[in-house]
Amino acid sequence: MSGPTIYDVAREAGVATSTVSRAFSSPNRVSASTREHVLAVASRLGYRPNPHARALLSGRHHTVAMVVSDITNPHYFELIRGAEMRARASEYTLVLVNAEESPRLEWDQIQRLAPAVDGFVLAASRLPDENLRQIADQRPLVLMNRELRGHASVVLDHVRGCHQIVEHLASLGHTDLVYLGGPRNSWMAATRWGALRSAALALGIGARRIGPFTPKVTQGGAAADAAINSGATAVVAHNDLLAIGVVQRLAQRGVRVPDDVSVVGFDNIFAADLCTPSLTTLGGPHADVGRAAVEILLQAAGTTRGLDPPQVVLPTELVLRGSSGARRAARG
């Protein structure tokens, strides 16, 4: 036997079904006394609103989707935590999607979810700009770790952060560096390389880019071999996972870190402090990135289009550890 319906509640309460719907989904659109009356009748009858029916009536699902490029990367843990906490605070459900570094999979998953969510937050999306614009035409969209003109985004200030990295290496006597680049379709990889090259030019330091490399520990071996062949005394890897793999491979080849080669990563994941030597890396408030992205998304979902989308930039922090040191020839 089926339970009571919204029509039963409306008949018993002496109101329209739309009033019952608003009492549950948009309480600010009915008077306090009417809402209390409807809720009391619903409780007495044992009525529970069907979330799918509520979505059909209100057009809101109270669900947002967060898409990450690689869920196995610890960098995303804090982003996810911040996003989930902010969604939960507004009684929204956060659906997590793993794109597995595949633009095709990312696009297919987003299109499948679009009818069932109120918007998307995309972390380090690998999709072309045109695809992102198409998604934004369907649902509110906020980008994390990527910027696109005319669309909301939250990023860390990697331009200033990369300058800090180069300034740090220059202060240690390094005269050249090599950047081990990330995926070819990574906006962040291109941004980091541009900032590193600009800072190196300003400080009179040589800079080369090698890659692209998949940003995983397992790719560190090939990246380390390429770095050794370059002759550079300072290596900046696309992320901490790749940097840790580089450090491991250098140890296998008898290259001392930081005595022979300094290594710097990005993201300040928890493992950066556990490897040997511990990893110098550029970090930042990643949980705040996730939190801010969902905050912007919820605001966008509740307003009309036409407002200037916010583009938030949060500060970075260079965390100095054991993997960076003075260039050996400069040591006295």
Structural domain range at position 214: 158-284+318-330
User: Rounded CA gap, 270 and 279, in Å?
Assistant: 10
Q: What is the CATH number of the domain that holds 151?
A: 3.40.50.2300
164 is a domain residue: yes
189 and 47 within one domain: no
Residue with tokens 């919204």: 6
1 is a domain residue: no
Whole-Å CA distances, 322 to 9, 84, 146, 258, 261: 67, 33, 30, 7, 12
State both tokens at 247. 């450090």
276 and 183 within one domain: yes
150 is a domain residue: yes
Domain boundary (58, 81, 101) is at 58
258 and 190 within one domain: yes
pLDDT at 60: 60
125: left (phi over 0), alpha (psi -120 to 50) or beta: beta
Whole-Å CA distances, 96 to 127, 149, 327: 17, 25, 44
pLDDT at 30: 81
140 and 18 within one domain: no
Other CB atoms within 10 A of residue 55 CB: 18
For residue 7, give every residue at least 6 positions away whose Cβ sits within 8 Å of its Cβ, in sequence order, or none.
17
For residue 122, give every residue at least 6 positions away whose Cβ sits within 8 Å of its Cβ, in sequence order, or none.
66, 67, 106, 132, 135, 141, 142, 143, 144, 146
324 and 175 within one domain: yes
pLDDT at 125: 94
35 is a domain residue: yes
231 is a domain residue: yes
State if pTM tops 0.85: no
Which one, of 124, 148, 145, 126, lies nearest residue 136 by Cα?
Answer: 148
Q: What is the CATH number of the domain that holds 30?
A: 1.10.260.40
325 and 225 within one domain: yes
23 is a domain residue: yes
168 and 253 within one domain: yes
17 is a domain residue: yes
Amino acid code (one letter) for 110: I
178 and 151 within one domain: no
pLDDT at 304: 47
Domain boundary (58, 81, 99) is at 58
- Helix ranges (H only) for the chain are 6-13, 17-25, 32-45, 51-58, 75-89, 103-113, 129-138, 158-171, 187-203, 220-230, 240-252, 286-301
182 and 140 within one domain: no
322 and 259 within one domain: yes
pLDDT at 331: 40
State both tokens at 256. 């001392």
Number of domains in the chain: 3
pLDDT at 286: 96
pLDDT tens by residue, the chain, 332 residues:
567 888 888 899 999 888 887 787 666 778 888 888 988 888 888 887 765 555 544 456 689 999 999 999 999 999 999 999 999 998 899 999 999 989 999 999 999 999 999 999 999 999 999 999 999 999 999 999 999 999 999 999 999 999 999 999 999 999 999 999 999 999 999 999 999 999 999 999 999 999 999 999 999 999 999 999 999 999 999 999 999 999 999 999 999 999 999 999 999 999 999 999 999 999 999 999 999 999 999 988 655 455 678 999 999 999 999 999 998 754 43
133 and 87 within one domain: yes
Q: Residue 104 in 3-state DSSP?
A: helix
244 and 164 within one domain: yes
- The counts of H helices and E strands in the chain are 12, 12
